[in-house]
Amino acid sequence: MRRVFLGLLPAFLLVTSCNDGDLDIERVDFSDSSLTGCNDFADKGLLFKIADSEALILELESNFLRNRVTADSIESDIPGESALYYRYFDGTVTSDYFCSTVAPSTPTVLQEVTATGGTIRALSTIKSDGSGFNHGIVIHGAVLMNDAGERVIEERFALGTYTTTPESASLGADFGDIIHCNDTLLYKAGTDNINRGVAIVLDLEEGLLLNEETPEDDPIVSTLGSEGSKVLFYIFSGALPDNYFCMTEDERPESPTPEVIYEALQGEIAITTTETSDGTGFAHQITLRKLMLLNENEQRLLSQSTSFGTYTSTVSSDNP
């Protein structure tokens, strides 16, 4: 009998018996196996867990796992929207079996069991270092039975965590120097590769830019959030005039207009302050860390670790 794995993998001859008698698939143990995907996961949605000569294969519906945070778990039904398979091979199987452009001739599939029901649930969160998104996947009520009508996996099966990484938006933006409006508002402006005005704006909480040195290797850190600082990315219809964000709303010209505003989902602002060599001021080196700032296409506008630059404040000679 010949079955096809939804067009993603070549057809295989499934053998349900061998010289020692019928194959007997018992409950599968993938507890020591990691959840893996191929480089083309975004296109094929194929994930798998391997345990020596066994594999559990999950084919997800298009765009099920995305570079976004889900407040509640999202769901996909088996079958119809997604598919789940168990395969038993005549030898050790590796990720090359699933990820090669041309499927290897060995090992051979001895038996395949296809799930006829169940629900896939996934909860997506940002990695703590801002490098990507963790997707925790659990399969509920999977109807994946052996020939004796026994479940191959548990009623609630924690498949594992899979990580996706956003690609760069590649704006080609060229930013100018830091503009200091006040001690809670700084920005950098420039143009992108199609001559739109772009700007990175820091909306800081109070008390970050102090005229005193920070201890070595101990910068002042502000975590982004509703009660902390914010990092915003603006795209305008044209180039920005000087001091645009330092103007009041009434002072700003009608053109250019902001086409879109993006806010960082996660991150922190770290500020290291040192006194200038001539003693007339303080240099504030500003770094954006663990940053997750994406556009509407889930592409990175700034990398997870970005140097915003150095702002130098001067100290009046009249100050004590």
Q: Residue 26 pLDDT more than 80?
A: no
Give the global pTM.
Answer: 0.85
pLDDT for 14 equals 36
pLDDT at 4 over 80: no
Q: What is the per-residue pLDDT for 150? A: 73
46-63 mean pLDDT: 94
Higher-scoring residue by pLDDT: 306, 43: 306
Q: What is the pLDDT of residues 136-187, one digit of tens each?
A: 999 999 998 877 777 778 889 999 999 999 999 988 888 999 999 999 999 9
pLDDT band, residue 128 (cuts 50/70/90): very high
Residue 1 has pLDDT above 70, yes or no: no
d(CA 4, CA 14): 10
pLDDT at 172: 87
Predicted local distance difference test score (pLDDT) of residue 9: 37
For the chain, the first-to-last Cα distance in angstroms comes to 90
Cβ–Cβ contacts within 10 Å for residue 186, how many? 24
The model's confidence at residue 24, banded by pLDDT at 50, 70 and 90, is: low
**Average predicted confidence (pLDDT) for the chain:** 88
Give the mean pLDDT of 277-305. Answer: 96
Indicate whether 238 pLDDT > 50: yes
Q: Is the pLDDT of residue 13 over 50?
A: no
Neighbours of 226 (CB within 10 A): 5
